Structure 1
Amino acid sequence: MKNPLATLAALALTAASVLVAAPAGAAEGDTVTWSVRPGDENGEDGRAWVEWEADPGQSRTEHLAVTNHGDDAVRFRLSAADGYFTDTGRFNMLPADQESVAAGTWVDLPASVSVAAGATEIVPFTVTVPADAEPGDHAAGVAASVHSTGGGEVGVESRVGFRVMTRVTGELAPSAGLAASASWTGSVNPFEAGDVTVAYTLENTGNARLGTRPEIVLSGPFGLGERTLRGEEIAEIAPGETRRGTVRFQDAWPLLTYDVRVVAQPLPVSDDLSFEGVEPASAQTTVLAVPWPQIVVLVLAALLAAWALFRRRLERRRTEELVARARAEAFAEAAALPARAEPALITAADTHG
C-alpha cells in the first residue's frame, strides 16, 4: 500500500481528525476518508472527546458521529480499548491485537456501522462503571476503522476516534514519584569546562491525571554555582504511567562533586479537575566531577618544577666543585714554588766600620 496516511492512522489516535486509508480489497489509488467525533442523537456536538464523572455502578449513553467523506459506501469496524498517553503527550488506545483490561472494557458499542458516501451515522454507545471501580481517572478510547492490505500479505488497520475519560467518584489522591541519575563528562582540554547530564523518570503514583514541569537544580560543594533548568512540560499523564526526561548543564567545571535535585509539582490538567495541597515529588543524587585533566597538568607542572630545582641544585653543586678544585690547584701550585732568599739589610754602622 502506498498511502502513508494509513500507516500514520494505525500509530496514533487523535480526537476530531480526518485520516485517509485504502480499504480492504480496494483497487490501488482508491481511498476512504472519514472522521469520528463525539455527539448526541442529532449529530456532532462540538466536543473534542467525552469526559464525565460517575459513581461506581453508574451508566451513561454517549454517541459517536462517523462521517464518510469518500465517494463510496463503507462499513467501518467500531472498537473500544484501554487508553493511554504517549511520551509526546498524545492520547492513544491499545491496538486491536492487545486485550483491554481496564476502562476499555466498560464501553459497549456495535461491532460495525455502514455509512453511505458523504453521509454521517450516529452510533450510540454505553459506558458502564463497575460497582467495584476504584476512585480516580480511567482512560478509554472509541474508534472507527478500516482494514486494508493493499495487495500485500500484512494488513494495516487504520482508525480514527476520540478518548472517553471517566472519573470515578471517591477519594482523589493525586501524587507523583521521581527517580534521577546524573553523569559528568569532562573535556580533555584542562582549560575547558565539562557537562552534567541529568536523567529523570516521573511516575504518576496516584489515581488522578496530572500535569507538571520538573525543575532540576545543580549545585557544587557548599552550594557553589547553583543553577536551575526546567525539563520538558508534561501536559497530561494518567495514573500508573511514567515519563522520562533529560537535561544537560553546560559549562560545569570539575568541582569534585555536584548535588542534583529534581522537583516536580503535580498540577491539575484543567480547572474542572482541580486539587490542592499535593506534595511535590522530588529526587536527589550526587555525581562525581573529578578534574583529571587539571590534575595531570598540575602533576606535570610539579614534575617540571622539581626537575628545574634539581637541575639548579646540580649546576650549583658542579660550580661549587669547580671553584673548590680551582682553589685547591692554586694552593698546590703555590706550595710547589722554591723559596726565595731575603735581601740583607745594610745599616750605616756597617758602612763606616
Structure 2
Amino acid sequence: MNALATLAGLTLVAASALVAAPAAAEGDAVTWSVRPGDENGEDGRAWVEWEADPGQSRTEHMVVTNHGDETVEFRLSSADGYFTETGRFNMLPSDQESVAAGRWIELPESVTVPGGAAEVVPFTVTVPDDAEPGDHAAGVAASVHSTGGGEVGVESRVGFRVMTRVTGELDPSLGLAASASYTGRPNPFEAGVVEVAYALRNTGNMRLNARPEITLSGPFGLRDRTVQGAEIVEIAPGQTRHGTVRLTEAWPLGAYDVTVVAQPVPVSDELSFGGVEPASARTTVLAMPWPQLLVLLLAALLATWSALHRRRGRRRTEELVARARAEALAEAGVPHP
C-alpha cells in the first residue's frame, strides 16, 4: 500500500495515513516498509500495544526495510496519535508539536538502510510518573523528503501505532448529542424523510467502539421504528465521532420524537469490560403536513364554491319558474296573486 503524502506550503508534512506496508516516495524510486519487531527483525505484530505503570519504561524495535535498489537515509519520528472519522489510525504531522504520548518515545533521528536491506531500530517508551490511567495513543514512523522537481517539499511517511494503557481506574464511558430534521415531499401522497445526526464523544479514558441505535416515534406511538446505525470503531479518549441516519417513509404527523442510544463496546476481547451504561440523547423534530393541509384547504375552497354555485343555481331556477308562472297567468287573464 502506498504511503499518502500531502503538501503544505514550503514545509515538510506527514503522510495523511499511517500504514505498516511498503510505500513509495512521491517522484522517487524509494519504496520502504516499517513494522514492529525485536532485535532479530519483524515479529508479526501490526503495532505495539502494552500496559504499564506510571514511571515504567519499555524498549521496542521498529524494522525499516528498504525495498529499493539505492541506499536511503530515513528520518525517524514519533508523534501523538489519533483516529480518523473512519476509525483509521494516524499521527500528527511533523509540523505540529506533540503534547501527549508522542513525547514519551525516544528514538534516533535517522537511520540509513542499504537497498534491499532492513535495519532494526530500538526505541524506548517511558511513561511519566504523573501519567493518567487509560489509553494513550502515539506512533512512530520513517519518512523521506522529496521536492518532486518543484519548490514545495513533500514528506512521505510510513509507520505504526504505539498504544500504551496506563494502569489505574479505567472509565469506559460515552457522551452523546443528537439533532434531527424533517424533509417533506411536494406530493401530498408521498412520505418524507427524517435525517438524524449524532455526535459520540469518548468521555472516559479507554478507547472504545460504539453501536448506535436510533428510534423514531410519532404521536401516540404512531409509526414507531428502530434502526441500527453504522458501528463506530476506535474512538480514543477525548475524541468525537459523527454519524447520520436517514429514515424514509416518515409521514408528516406533526412531530416525531427521536432517541439515539449508543452502547460502549470493547475494541477487543483482551480489553473487555462490562456493566457500562449506554449513552443516550433525545430530540424532537417537527413534521408538519403542509402539502396535505394545502390539499385540504383547496378541497374546502372547492366545496364552498360548489355549494355557493348550487345555491345560486337554485335561486335563479326559482326566479325563472316564478316569472314564467306569472306570465302564463297574465296571458290567461288570471289575476296574479
Task: Give the TM-score normalised by structure 1.
Answer: 0.89
**Selected match of 1:271 from 256, 260, 269:** 269
d(CA) in 2 for partners of 1:117, 1:308: 92
**Selected match of 1:283 from 281, 285, 290:** 281
Q: Is the 8 A contact 2:82 2:137 kept in 1?
A: yes
d(CA) in 1 for partners of 2:158, 2:236: 21
Aligned pairs (5 A) from 1:71-86 = 71-86=69-84
Worse-superposed segment, 326-335 or 81-90: 326-335
Q: CA deviation at 1:317?
A: 1.2
CA RMSD of aligned residues (A): 1.6
- Asked if 1:10 corresponds to 2:15, the answer is yes
1:28-64 Cα offsets, whole Å, 9 max, x none, are 6x41111111111111111110000111111111111
Partner of 1:320: 318
Partner of 1:93: 91
- Asked if 1:169 corresponds to 2:163, the answer is no
Partner of 1:194: 192
Aligned pairs (5 A) from 1:28-39 = 30-39=28-37
What SS does structure 1 have at the residue aligned with 2:165? strand
Partner of 1:231: 229
d(CA) in 1 for partners of 2:295, 2:52: 69
What SS does structure 1 have at the residue aligned with 2:15? helix
Q: Is the 8 A contact 2:62 2:122 kept in 1?
A: yes
d(CA) in 1 for partners of 2:311, 2:173: 71
Partner of 1:25: none
Q: Is the 8 A contact 1:6 1:20 kept in 2?
A: no
Letter aligned with residue 54 of structure 1? A
1:56-98 Cα offsets, whole Å, 9 max, x none, are 1111111111111111111110000000001111100000000
Tell me which stretches of 4 or more aligned residues in structure 1 moved more than 6 Å: none
What SS does structure 2 have at the residue aligned with 1:183? strand
- Asked if 1:122 corresponds to 2:113, the answer is no
What SS does structure 2 have at the residue aligned with 1:191? coil
1:147-189 Cα offsets, whole Å, 9 max, x none, are 1101111111111100000001110011111111111111111
- Asked if 1:204 corresponds to 2:202, the answer is yes
Q: Is the 8 A contact 1:67 1:118 kept in 2?
A: yes
Q: CA deviation at 1:333?
A: 4.6
Aligned pairs (5 A) from 1:56-71 = 56-71=54-69
The answer for unaligned runs of 5 or more in structure 1 is 23-27, 338-353
State the aligned residue count: 327
Q: CA deviation at 1:254?
A: 0.8
The answer for unaligned runs of 5 or more in structure 2 is 7-13
Partner of 1:19: 23
Pick closer, same or farther for the CA change 1:335–1:316 going to 2, 3 Å: same
- Asked if 1:246 corresponds to 2:251, the answer is no
Letter aligned with residue 170 of structure 1? G
d(CA) in 1 for partners of 2:288, 2:111: 67
d(CA) in 2 for partners of 1:21, 1:322: 99
Q: Is the 8 A contact 1:51 1:164 kept in 2?
A: yes
Aligned pairs (5 A) from 1:34-45 = 34-45=32-43
1:254-310 Cα offsets, whole Å, 9 max, x none, are 111111111110000011111111110111111111111111111111111111111
**Selected match of 1:262 from 251, 260, 263:** 260
Letter aligned with residue 149 of structure 1? T
Pick closer, same or farther for the CA change 1:258–1:209 going to 2, 3 Å: same
Q: CA deviation at 1:6?
A: 5.3
What SS does structure 2 have at the residue aligned with 1:298? helix
d(CA) in 2 for partners of 1:83, 1:11: 12
Task: Give the TM-score normalised by structure 2.
Answer: 0.93
Identity %: 76
Worse-superposed segment, 221-230 or 194-203: 221-230
1:318-338 Cα offsets, whole Å, 9 max, x none, are 12222233333444455568x
Letter aligned with residue 120 of structure 2? I
Partner of 2:9: none
d(CA) in 1 for partners of 2:126, 2:221: 55
Worse-superposed segment, 221-230 or 43-52: 221-230
Q: CA deviation at 1:251?
A: 1.4
